[in-house]
Structures are given as C-alpha cells and as structure tokens.
Amino acid sequence: MNIGDAARLSGLPAKTIRYYEDIGLIRPLRDTNGYRVFRENDLHKLTFLARARSLGFTIEECRTLLELYEDQNRASADVKRLAEDHLVQIDQKLTELMAMRETLSELIEACKGDHRPDCPILKGLSSVTQ
Amino acid sequence: MNIGDAARLSGLPAKTIRYYEDIGLIRPLRDTNGYRVFRENDLHKLTFLARARSLGFTIEECRTLLELYEDQNRASADVKRLAEDHLVQIDQKLTELMAMRETLSELIEACKGDHRPDCPILKGLSSVTQ
DNA sequence: GGTAGGGCTTCCCGGAGCTGGAAGGTCAAG
DNA sequence: CTTGACCTTCCAGCTCCGGGAAGCCCTACC
C-alpha cells in the first residue's frame, strides 16, 4: 500500500504521515522505487495516531501511548495515568476558555453595536476588566 | 519610561513588547542612547493588548481592535462584530474540547488501571471510538 | 578612575505540528 | 510518446513569542 492509500484509509494527510515518519512514530518499508510501503500494522498505528491526536494528545504523548500499545506487558495503570493527566490539561483549557467566554459575552451584551463610537468593549479592554 | 517599567506596569514580558514593536503594534520613541521610551499612551496600548490577548484575540484581531480604539469616529458595531466573531471561535473550541473530554473520560472510566495489560483506553484508540 | 551589577540593544534559533510549494523521479493509460 | 497522477526530498513559513549570545549603557561603590 502506498502513502496515498494509507492517507485515505487513516484519514491523515500524506504530508502528516511523512512527518510522522520523520519524527520516528512509524517506520514504513520502502519499495525498490523509493516509495513508502505501508503494511496492516503501519495502518493500525496511523489510525491509532489519528484518534489519539483528535483527543488532543500531544505528539510526545502519542509516542508513549504507541509504545504502550505495542508493549504486551504494559500495565493499564500507566495508560490510565497518562490519560488522566491529559484530562487535567483539557479541564484547565476548558476553565480558561469559559472565563474568556464569560467576560467577552458580558462586554458584547453591554455594547449597543450602532454607528456611534461609544463602546463598552473597548472601554473594558482599556480600563480594568469589569 | 524604559522597557522594564513598561513591562512591569503592563504585565507583558519585555520580549513580548519588543515583538509587538517589531510587528508594528506600538511605536515607542527612542532615547539618544537607543533605549525605547514609553509614554502614557504607549502604556495604555500595552495594557489594552495584554487584556485583548488574555481574552484570546489573535494578534491581527488586536491590531484591528487597536485601530478602532484609536479611531474617534469608529462605529461600535464594528467592534461588536469582531467580538462576536471571536466569541464564535471560542464556542467552537469549547464544543471541541467538551467532546474530547467526554470521550476521554468515558475511556478512563472503563479502564481498571491495574498491573494487567488489558486496557479499554488503548482499545478505544485502536478500534472505532466508543 | 576602575569595576561590578543590572538594564538595555540587536540578532538568531527553536518550538508544535504540521502545510505549501518547488524540482524532479515513476508509473499506468491511451 | 505523452499526459497526468502519483511519489520523492528539501526548504520555507505559519503563531507568538522565549532563550540565549554578544555587546553597549548607566549607576553605585571603593
């Protein structure tokens, strides 16, 4: 299987797949013409990576997850710990975003949005926030 | 006022302030010794920028906001539109993160987290999610 | 006057995770 | 033989800075 097929089947752009090889996440074989050759196992890893990335795991976390995935003697506790740490990151981000959302929507609410220059949004940004 | 004071008062690192000058967000004067000189107005812009950035506006959005801030003939509608667009971005990000959170916490829930290799998290990542 | 320290300057590199594009080899179809 | 779709490598750039080097400036102290 060439990179185009691997891309279609995994849902990852070919560029991304090449990048993942560059940084050592996957090691596809090479055909005599220099083309990358993807086997079933490579494809599994790619879809694994696509899913892990879509859950927001960083590349380095994905690298660790992939190692655990391949290690038949792993302890599920190690995986769980990694996932829980990541969940904490997500929750922090969520908290941050919700605070932004709150402040911003208050400012928007207060702004008439007409042709006049008076604007609580700009005021809120220039003086103390609320 | 030198960059160190401007940094302390605005809450922005000196590096960031230099960067903002580089990309033309601010234009402090220069002393004869080459040091940047910040006036009241520069400081206002810096705190404005710090607040706008903390609400998640991109640099380019900040540039526009700053222009509107300085334009005495602006229409508050223009500011409001920008803020509303940004709110949409925030909401998209929130939706995305909450979906991640949901999936991830389900997987974590299902994982015993013991010394054995069996792990629903890895299973969830390698097969279809859910 | 010399020196130690802190502050300031510019410049260049790196990071996270790709994406776009150029230049060129390969392959199957017509 | 040519066209067009693949594939290859390599280099640059995106966002928003942060780290660090090399070197000038200024004040305080001895």
pLDDT tens digit sequence for A54-86: 999 999 999 999 999 999 999 999 999 999 999
**Residue pLDDT, tens place only, B27-60:** 999 999 999 999 999 999 999 999 999 999 999 9
Distance CA B51, CA B74 (A): 20
Nearest to B123 by CA among A114, A51, A81: A51
A-interface mutation test, from B51, B76, B78, most A Cβ less than 10 A away: B76
Please indicate, yes or no, if residue A67 is contained in any of the structural domains: no
Q: What average pLDDT does chain B have?
A: 93
- Tell me which residue range forms the domain holding B33: 3-126
Residue A63 lies in a domain: no
Alpha-carbon distance of B67 to B38, in angstroms, equals 19
pLDDT tens for residues B4-36?
999 999 999 999 999 999 999 999 999 999 999
Q: What tens digit of pLDDT does each residue of A38-57 get?
A: 999 999 999 999 999 999 99
Query: Is there a domain that residue A112 lies in?
Result: yes
B76–A100 CB contact, under 8 Å: no
pLDDT, one tens digit per residue, over B103-114 is: 999 999 999 989
Nearest-CA residue relative to C1' of D18: B15
Instruction: Give yes or no for B68 touching A (CB within 8 A).
Output: yes
Q: Can you give the pLDDT at residue A127?
A: 78
Q: Which residues of A touch B124 (CB under 8 A)?
A: 51
Query: Which of A122, A114, A110 is CA-nearest to residue B77?
Result: A114
Going by pLDDT thresholds of 50, 70 and 90, the confidence category of residue B127 is confident
Structural tokens at position B66: 């700053």
Q: A40 with A89, same domain?
A: no
Are A44 and A93 part of one and the same domain? no
Q: What is the domain count for chain A?
A: 2
Q: Is the pLDDT of residue A128 over 80?
A: no
Q: Tell whether B23 lies on the interface with A, counting CB pairs under 8 A.
A: no
Same structural domain, A51 and A85: no
For the purposes of burial, counting CB atoms within 10 Å of the CB of B109, is it exposed (0-12), middle (13-18) or buried (19 or more)? exposed
CA B54 to chain centre: 5
Domain co-membership, A37 together with A82 = no
- Residue B123 has a pLDDT of 92
Q: Check A98 against B93: CB less than 8 A apart.
A: no
Quick check: A123 and A117 in contact, CB under 8 A?
no
pLDDT at residue A129, as a whole number: 46
Residues A90 and A116 in one domain: yes
Strand C interface, A 69-128, C-beta < 7 A: none
Q: Do A100 and B122 touch (CB under 8 A)?
A: no
Percentage of chain B lying above the pLDDT 90 cut? 95
Do A51 and A82 have their domain in common?
no
Mean pLDDT of chain A: 93
Give the up-direction half-sphere exposure of residue B40: CA atoms within 13 A in the CB hemisphere: 0
At A34, which CATH number? Answer: 1.10.1660.10
